[in-house]
Amino acid sequence: MEKKSRSKFSSKLGFVLAAAGSAVGLGNIWRFPYLAAKYGGGIFLLVYLILAFTFGYTMIMTESTLGRMTEKSPVGAYKHFGASKFLKAGGWLNAIIPLLIVPYYSVIGGWVMKYLFTYLSGNGSSASKADAFAKFTTSAQEQVFWFVLFTLITMLIIFGGVRNGIEAVSKIMMPILVFLAIVIVFYSVTRPGAIKGVKYFLIPNFSQFSYKTVVAALGQMFYSLSIAMGILYTFGSYMKKDIDIEKTTKQVEIFDTAIAVLAGLMVIPAVFAFDGGKNLNAGPGLMFVALPKVFNSMGFGGFIGVVFFLLVLLAAVTSSVALAESVVSTFEDELHFTRKRAATVTATIMLILGTLSALGFNVLSSVKIFNMDILSFFDFLTNSVMMPIAAIATCVLVLKVVKIKTIEDEIKTTSKFRRKIVYNFVIKYVAIIFLLVILVTSVLGAF
Ligand code: PHE
């Protein structure tokens, strides 16, 4: 068996930053605001917060503890505990999800690059025109060009093995991102008419609640906290034994949520101030439609646009590298591919699936899968179908094979385990049933 000793994060801060760097990405800035806008604002936020701090917490703790105990990524971790064949498939499911996310993630990454380029070339104000975004998405060449460029950057970083730079990039990027987000939020919420949006986003309106709110919030929680996609197993495996898992979980959870809330406050009030709230259902394009209007109306807006899209691009690249890297290392470890072969296979799959998603807005716009465009379908398939199943597998692994007590003992070697009651309650009584219900409703809802 492999006896390589695993390299570890240099410091506690290193771990938190790397985890936060991969947690904070397009999920927080692009995905969260458009879902919140679409699924009822305050009620979505409330459901999201409850889920993140109970269920999300439980899953982060579980996955990183399993990773730290076994020093393995998900496939290896499941094997390590001698899971049944059936359950082992759950390990593979966790490991393979990033391969389906990273292609469409890179399409959105391409959008960010395009907007950065537009602002850099001094044409920022053109991005604020009403049909700018629609024009952009209906151009097949542009969609594919920016997607391929983003994918190349991701794969160059992987091939070049400079992923160690990621920790360094995150360290500089995160504080600037937070600062800039606060500036933009301040501007956005003080626009005339914006206060309606602030209220819409922050005050729950229970009449807007439906099962769809829960399905969307749960999928978003997985996505944003990088749960149920193998990532946290891998992070855990690189974690030193003396790291306080509970504390780092808390930090990542709070930081990730704070960025999402800031992004909501940037985007949603602007939708009210500039469009009278008409665009709430815009979907994946929301940020790209709303923010240029904010920038256009502010002093130094062109400059703010450059800095903003640059930071979002960095956040997107650190995430896409983490996603692609986790696929590459699964291929290396479990299928014994050379690194080069693993990266080539990953890149090829990325290019095929991503191109399909990019073309779904133009050449292939007549292709609808369950009434969704191709990108939204991949997003739905991963977040609302595969991740709930992957999370169920992890819960079953803990309950039936590893046993909660083992997890508890491991956590207690370094942490007080303050939320132990929450943890036990969620994993024993709530998680699996809840996930099954969500899974069934979201699949049925798709028909
Ligand atoms: N959580 C990241 C986001 O919010 C996505 C991601 C998942 C990044 C897994 C890295 C690894 O965008």
Minimal CA–CA distance to 154: which of 98, 82, 115, 199? 98
Burial (0-12, 13-18, 19+ Cβ within 10 Å), 333: middle
Q: Give the confidence band of 238 by pLDDT, cuts at 50, 70, 90.
A: confident
Using left for φ > 0, alpha for ψ between -120 and 50, and beta otherwise, residue 6 falls in: beta
Ligand 1 centroid – CA 115 distance (Å): 21
Q: Coil, helix or strand for 197?
A: helix
Ligand 1 centroid – CA 105 distance (Å): 9
Q: What is the pLDDT of residues 394-438, one digit of tens each?
A: 999 999 999 999 999 999 999 899 999 999 999 999 999 999 999
The torsion of the CA quartet 400, 404, 407, 409, rounded to 10 degrees, works out to -130
- Sign, CA dihedral 64-65-66-67, equals positive
Flag whether pLDDT at 142 surpasses 80: yes
Out of 94, 323, 326, 383, mutate this one to test ligand 1's pocket (max ligand atoms within 8 Å of CB): namely 323
Q: Which atom of ligand 1 is nearest to the CA of 28?
A: 4
pLDDT of residue 318: 86
Q: Is 23 in the pocket of ligand 1 (CB under 6 A)?
A: yes
Higher pLDDT, 47 or 84: 47
**Could you give the angle at the alpha carbon of 222 between the alpha carbons of 218 and 228, nearest 5°?**
125
Contact 144, 355 (CB under 8 A): yes
Q: Which atom of ligand 1 is nearest to the CA of 316?
A: 12
Q: Give the confidence band of 7 by pLDDT, cuts at 50, 70, 90.
A: low
Minimal CA–CA distance to 215: which of 44, 417, 370? 44
Matching CATH number, 15-446, of 1.10.4160, 1.10.3210, 1.10.10, 1.10.40: 1.10.4160
Q: Is 319 in the pocket of ligand 1 (CB under 6 A)?
A: yes
Ligand 1 centroid – CA 149 distance (Å): 19
Q: Which atom of ligand 1 is nearest to the CA of 98?
A: 9
Structural domain spans, the chain = 15-446
| Residues ≥6 apart with Cβ < 8 Å to 154 | 102, 106, 109, 317, 320, 321, 324, 350
Flag whether pLDDT at 118 surpasses 70: yes
Ligand 1 centroid – CA 176 distance (Å): 19
Q: Atom 7 (ligand 1): residue with closest C-alpha? A: 226
Q: Atom 9 (ligand 1): residue with closest C-alpha? A: 226
Q: Give the confidence band of 299 by pLDDT, cuts at 50, 70, 90.
A: confident
Ligand 1 centroid – CA 129 distance (Å): 30
What string of H, E and C letters represents the secondary structure of 143-178?
Answer: HHHHHHHHHHHHHHHHHHCHHHHHHHHHHHHHHHHH
Ligand 1 centroid – CA 323 distance (Å): 7
Q: Is 118 in the pocket of ligand 1 (CB under 6 A)?
A: no
pLDDT of residue 2: 42
Angle separating helix axes 286-297 and 165-189, nearest 10 degrees: 60
Q: What is the pLDDT of residues 182-214, one digit of tens each?
A: 999 999 999 999 999 999 999 999 999 998 999
Q: Atom 8 (ligand 1): residue with closest C-alpha? A: 319
Q: Which atom of ligand 1 is nearest to the CA of 25?
A: 12
Q: Give the residues across from 372 on adjacent strands.
A: 369
Q: What is the pLDDT of residues 58-90, one digit of tens each?
A: 999 999 999 999 988 899 999 999 889 889 999
The torsion of the CA quartet 88, 94, 99, 103, rounded to 10 degrees, works out to 150
Ligand 1 centroid – CA 122 distance (Å): 30
Out of 226, 253, 259, 329, mutate this one to test ligand 1's pocket (max ligand atoms within 8 Å of CB): namely 226
Contact 263, 33 (CB under 8 A): yes
Residue 40 tokens, joined = 């009822």
Q: Give the confidence band of 1 by pLDDT, cuts at 50, 70, 90.
A: very low
Q: Give the residues across from 206 on adjacent strands.
A: none
pLDDT of residue 89: 94
Q: Coil, helix or strand for 71?
A: coil
Q: Is 28 in the pocket of ligand 1 (CB under 6 A)?
A: yes
Distance CA 92, CA 22 (A): 21
Rounded to an integer, the average pLDDT of 292-309 is: 91
Write the ipTM.
0.95
Contact 16, 240 (CB under 8 A): no
pLDDT of residue 446: 79
Q: Is 226 in the pocket of ligand 1 (CB under 6 A)?
A: yes
- Give helix then strand counts, H and E, for the chain: 23, 0
Ligand 1 centroid – CA 367 distance (Å): 27
The mean pLDDT value of the chain amounts to 90
Q: What is the pLDDT of residues 359-387, one digit of tens each?
A: 999 999 999 999 999 999 999 999 999 99
Ligand 1 centroid – CA 427 distance (Å): 23
Rounded to an integer, the average pLDDT of 318-327 is: 88
| Percentage of the chain modeled with pLDDT above 90 | 72
pLDDT of residue 162: 56
Using left for φ > 0, alpha for ψ between -120 and 50, and beta otherwise, residue 72 falls in: beta
pLDDT of residue 388: 95
Ligand 1 centroid – CA 27 distance (Å): 6
